[in-house]
Amino acid sequence: MIPQEIIRRKRDGQELTGADIAAFIEGLTREAVSEGQVAAFAMATFFRGMSRDEVIALTLAMRDSGDVLTWTDAGKPVADKHSTGGVGDNVSLMLAPIVAACGLAVPMISGRGLGHTGGTLDKFQSIPGYDVMPGEDVLRRVVKEVGCAIIGQTGDLAPADKRLYAIRDVTATVESIPLITASILSKKLAAGLETLVLDVKCGNGAFMARQEDAEALARSLVEVANGAGVRTAALLTDMNEPLADAAGNAVEVANAVSFLRGEKAGTRLDAVTFALAAEMLVQAGVFATHDAAEAAARKVLANGTAADVFARMVHALGGPADFMEKPEAYLVRAPVILPVPARASGFLSACETRDVGLAVLELGGGRKRPQDAIDHRVGFTDLLPLGARVEKAQPFAFVHAPDEAAARKAISALQAAYTLSNDTPGDRPVILTRM
C-alpha cells in the first residue's frame, strides 16, 4: 500500500475500494501511516465525501482494527446510546444508570472531547480514582454487577478510531458524515451491542448545524449500523443552546448528580434523557410502548435506584464509595468563580452554542492539540435557558476559571454568544424527529 496514492485518489474524488480502505486503516493503526498522511486523508474525505460502500468499508476496517467484544453471558439485552456531540451534553451520565436500573446491560464506550464539544470520558476523569481505561475483565465485571460501565476505548477497542479521532479533533476535519459515521459505529460495533440509539444533534452547537445535514448523518448512521446487524434508531435533538445548564467537565458531573437527585425536572435535559431512555428500552424489547418505558425510567429516577446504580458504577471503577452523597468533597473546584452579567435587559433569545463550547475550550476545558491536558475545574454553570428574562447586570451564568484574566475573557465570550431581545424566542422543540 502506498498511502499517498490512496490519499491522491480520494483527493481527486475517486471511489476507494474496500481493499484500499482496509490497507490505509491497517497502516494508520500500526502508525505506518504518518500523522500528516492521516490528516490529509481526513481532509480529502471531508471535501470529497464517501459512497455508502466506502463508509461501510471504513467502519468495518476501524471496528476490526482491535478487539470485538461479545456478551453471550450478559443475560440481559446489551444496549447503548451515542451522541454525535454537543455542548453541555451530559446525558450519558444519567441515561446509562437509568436504563441499567430498568434492566439493560450497558457497556458504554465513550470518547474524549472533540472540537468544541465536550467528551464523556473527560467528564468522568474529574472524579478522583475513576478509571476510564480499565481492562476488559473489569468492564465485564462492572457491567455484570452494576448494569452499566462508562469507560473509554479500553485496551484494544477500535484503536484506529482513537488515532484518527485525535487527529481530526485538531485538523478541522470533524464535521464529515463518513468520518463521524465510521468513528461512532466502529466503537459501538466493537463493543458488541445488540441495540443502539443515536442522539444526532442538530443546530449551531452540533457538528451538523442544518437539519437536512443532521438527517443525512442520522440516515448514514442508522443504515450502516442496521446493515452491520445492530438494531439502531436515531433521535434528532436540538443543539441551539447548551443542553444542561452547565458546560465543562467537573461542572457537568455535578450537574448529572443533581439530575439523578431529581433536581432537573422539566428541563430540556430531562426531555432528551427520558426520550432516549424510552427509545432504548422499547428497542431492546423491555417495554412494548414508549409511554410504559418512560414511566419506568422516571420511576427509577424518583425512587433513587438510578442514583444508586451511578454511585455503584463510580465506586466499581475506582471512584469514592460516597461520591453521590458528597460530590463537592471530590470534584475539583476552580479558584475563580464569577457571575456573567447580562449586558442589557431582555429575553435570552438566541445562543451561538459553538462559541460557548469554544469558550470552555479556551478556559482549558478542552484540547487544542491531542497531547494537551484538560483543566477539569473550568466551564460555566447556572446557564439560564433561552426564553429567560434577565435585567441588565443580572447574572445569566457563572464562569469557573483558573484565574481572573481567563474569567474576564470567558465572561466577554459568553456575553457575545447570547442575544438579548425584546421578544421571547417562542417554542423550540428539543426532540426534532425520529429516524
Q: Which residues are catalytic?
A: 80-83, 120, 168, 183, 187-188
CB of 96 to ligand URA, least distance (A): 16
Q: Which of 184, 198, 351, 432 binds ligand URA (CB under 6 A)?
A: 184
Instruction: Determine contact, residues 173/44, Cβ cutoff 8 Å.
Output: no
Distance in angstroms (rounded) separating the CA atoms of residues 391 and 109: 43
Q: How far is the CB of 218 from ligand URA (least distance, A)?
A: 13
Select 84 or 204, whichever has its Cβ closest to ligand URA.
84
The residue type found at 353 is: T
Q: Which is nearer to ligand URA, 190 or 297 (CB)?
A: 190
Q: How far is the CB of 186 from ligand URA (least distance, A)?
A: 9
Q: d(Cα 385, Cα 369) in Å, to the nearest integer?
A: 31
Kindly state the smallest distance separating residue 225's Cβ from ligand URA, in Å: 13
CB of 253 to ligand URA, least distance (A): 19
- Residue 180 CB, shortest distance to ligand URA, in Å, is 4
Sorted by sequence, the CB contacts under 8 Å of residue 37 that are 6+ apart come out as 3, 4, 7
Alpha helix (H) ranges present in 201-325?
211-227, 250-260, 268-283, 290-302, 305-316
Q: Is there binding between residue 59 and ligand URA (CB under 6 A)? A: no
In this chain, which residue has its C-beta nearest to ligand URA?
183
Q: To which H or E segment does residue 242 belong?
A: none
Nearer residue to ligand URA within complex by CB, 81 or 312: 81
User: Closest approach of Cβ 134 to ligand URA, in Å?
Assistant: 19
Among 87, 114, 284, 383, binds ligand URA (CB under 6 A): 114
Whether the Cβ atoms of residue 309 and residue 108 lie closer than 8 Å to each other = no
Q: Applying CB under 6 A, does 85 fall inside the site for ligand URA?
A: yes
Helix (H, G, I), strand (E, B) or coil at 108: strand
Cβ-based nearer residue to ligand URA, 184 or 224 = 184
Helix or strand or coil: residue 330? coil
Using the contact rule CB under 6 A, the part of the chain among 97-105, 179-187, 306-314, 407-415 near ligand URA is: 179-187
Q: Which is nearer to ligand URA, 111 or 152 (CB)?
A: 111
Residue 84 sits in the site that holds ligand URA (CB under 6 A): yes
With CB under 6 A as the contact rule, the residue among 3, 66, 111, 357 that binds ligand URA is 111
Strand order in the sheet with 79-83: 79-83, 195-202, 231-238, 431-434
Q: Residue from 120, 183, 204, 237 that binds ligand URA (CB under 6 A)?
A: 183
Q: Return the sign of the alpha-carbon dihedral for residues 303, 305, 306, 312.
A: positive
Residue 273 engages ligand URA in binding (rule: CB under 6 A): no
Q: Site size for ligand URA, by CB under 6 A?
A: 10
Report whether 136 contacts 155 (CB < 8 A).
Answer: yes
User: Nearer Cβ to ligand URA, position 162 or 264?
Assistant: 162
User: Does position 102 bind ligand URA by CB under 6 A?
Assistant: no
- Cα 336 to Cα 405: distance, rounded to the nearest angstrom: 10
Comparing CB distances to ligand URA, the nearer of 191 and 378 is 191
Cell of 31: 502508525
Binding map of ligand URA across residues 146-175, x = CB under 6 A, - = no contact: -------------------x--------x-
Q: State which residue, 98 or 217, has the beta carbon closest to ligand URA.
A: 217
Q: What are the DSSP calls for 331-382, one per residue?
A: S---SEEEEEE-SSSEEEEEE-HHHHHHHHIIIIIS-SSTTPPP-TT-EEES
Q: At what angle are helices 52-63 and 18-30 packed, to 10 degrees?
A: 30
- Type of residue found at 156: D
Q: Minimum CB separation from ligand URA for residue 399, in Å?
A: 26
| Dist CA 320 CA 224 (whole Å) | 39
Instruction: Tell me: does residue 77 bind ligand URA (CB under 6 A).
Output: no
Q: Residues interacting with ligand URA, by CB under 6 A?
A: 84-85, 111, 114, 165, 174, 179-180, 183-184
